[in-house]
Amino acid sequence: MDRRMKLKESVKQAEFKSLNMSDTWRELAKDNNVAILVGLLIFYIFYNTVVLSYRKQQKDYEDRMKIEKAEAEERSKMRQLETEIEGRQGEEDEEAEGQGEEKNPYLKVAMRFMKSGAKIRRNPQYLDRGADVKFSDVAGLGNIRVELEEIVKFFTMAEVYQRRGVRVPSGILLCGPPGVGKTLLAKAVAGEAGVNFFSISASQFVEIYAGVGASRVRSLYEEARENAPSVVFIDELDAVGRKRGLVKGSGEQERDATLNQLLVCLDGFVSKGQVITIAATNRPDILDDALVRPGRFDRKIYIPKPSFMGRIEILKVHARKKPMADDVDYPVVANLTDGMVGAELANIIEIAALNMMRDGRSEITTDDLLQATQTEERGILGKKQRSPEIWKQLALNEAAVAVAAANFPDLCSVEFVTIAARAGKDLGYVRAKVNYMKFNEGMLSQKNLLDYITVQIAPRAADEIWNGESQLSTIWAKPADNARSAARRLVLSGLCGKLNGIHNSWVEDNVNEIDLEALKILNNCYSRVKEILNQNRGLLEATVDQLVEKKNLSKKEFSDLVRKFGNLEPVPLDLVEIRNSKLLQFREMMMTNKD
């Protein structure tokens, strides 16, 4: 019995221990599951951050090595091809030399001198062999030509400058709006000096791979020094030379490295030799200060838009190889192209030539140039159908502007009036030539602004006079907005009698006061232009009739209408006009005495 009891107790103890062990294993299993999940999460994060990024870098490295290998193979093939070509040329030269030595004994000595220690150079990658431009091919320079001729003397008279202690500039920065001819001027400097011309756009320096931009800068200047004397031209310098720190990102590091290499090549530790850098940009205000400081870009030359005489010269230069009629009136075309740049003037000649070919004629006339001017400025002529009422409303709108402008010769002179639709533009157009001797955008007087407001609000007044307040249209909405903006500008600039311009325009009371003063100015100008249009009602009606019939009016045609129907207020002559009239009278008197 005792043995049985002991056996039962031992079995119970064993069962109890097994139960305790199973609970322990369950708890351990739960802890292991958590640990496994944490381990998997850590492994997942490690795999994504380390392994995948490493594989990506390795793939980028392999792609880069493939590209470099392909470039190396291409360079080796080019060298082999150059060697074969040079070998063939050498054989031909030896044959020619053998034949020439019999005829000329000095030829052998000359050929040996040419072969003595000569280094075979690879073909320059950035050399522009077609840059054969002279100053005679560039027109409309004005006073800029003096500065450009001085740059040419840096090459032709370099020793004289060095003996007298004058430091030759390492860089010249050409600034100006697009199309004024900055690239052409750089080519003209190189062509006039007779030196090699290396050109590249600054956007070619920036690539996706690190170090490519700096490498290209070094290659460019190495080629320029090997082929010195030379000019290095960098177009659109602001693509790589803008101020550092403006843009954040990985691409900015590559841009900074390229800019630093350019700074070193401009001056620093690398000898420049007879290499001058000419750069062009439309945005000199965003260039890095270290780039434009003296010692790198010593000269900054601003290329403005051509003047009246400059436009005539540019038109004549581009018309050299075109079949122009003998009676082409270049001054008339130059008057209509005020504000245009050289590229636009060159395109006008090309458009006129196409018009000539389209009509089957053999010469370009003044009318072709005038039509080409309108095409360049406002697009091709449209064929939109309109009712007679709409044509008359358009003519009234543009005639009102022209008649009002005719009363303010100090402001502008009307050069052309049109109501023809061009390139989807439904409204007409009045081209007026501003008198820059009296009207300067940076120094506007109170009279200038009041005259401008009066001209801009003229279509609204004409619409009310002829059609009545109940029949007003929105055709004059844009010039009316211009008049409102000019009135507020007049008040805010302190040209108004009540406000002196020294005030806070954001205060509510001041805003209301400014609006009230601007409204007074608009009302006064509106009354003034209504009086002008009523006094010149005959001129306005004649201009409307001519526009409806012809769709266009030239300066001469409008001037004839003004002389016949106009009732303009007399304007006192200024000193320049008095001098010109006296000079004209003197010339007429001299011609009369000569006859």
Instruction: Just list the catalytic residues.
Output: 398
Type of residue numbered 74: E
Nearest 10 degrees: CA dihedral of 578, 582, 583, 586?
A: 180
Half-sphere exposure of 23 (CA within 13 A, CB side): 5
How many residues would you count in the chain? 595
Query: Smallest Cα–Cα separation from 169: which of 184, 147, 187, 137?
Result: 147
How do the residues of the chain divide into helix, strand and coil, expressed in percent and rounded to 5? 65, 10, 30
Distance between CA 350 and CA 335 in Å, rounded?
19
- DSSP secondary structure letter of residue 570: P
Considering Cα of 435, then 437, then 440, then 443, what sign does the dihedral take?
negative
Residues 309 and 139 sit within 8 Å (Cβ to Cβ) = no
Type of residue numbered 47: Y
Q: Return the exposure string of 38-70: e unless at least 16 CB atoms fall within 10 Å of the residue's CB, then b.
A: eeeeeeeeeeeeeeeeeeeeeeeeeeeeeeeee
445 φ, ψ (degrees, to nearest 5):
-90, 170
Instruction: Tell the residue number behind the tokens 């007074």, with chain if given.
Output: 520
Distance between CA 90 and CA 588 in Å, rounded?
72
Q: What is the 3-state secondary structure (H, E, C) of 401-455?
A: HHHHHHCCCCCEEEEEEECCCECCECCCEEEEEECCCCCCCCCCCHHHHHHHHHH
Q: What is the 3-state secondary structure (H, E, C) of 316-344?
A: HHHCCCCCECCCCCHHHHHHHCCCCCHHH
Would you state the structure tokens that stand for residue 209, as one six-digit string?
Answer: 């791979």
Query: How large is the angle between the packed helices 477-492 and 508-535, nearest 10 degrees?
Result: 130
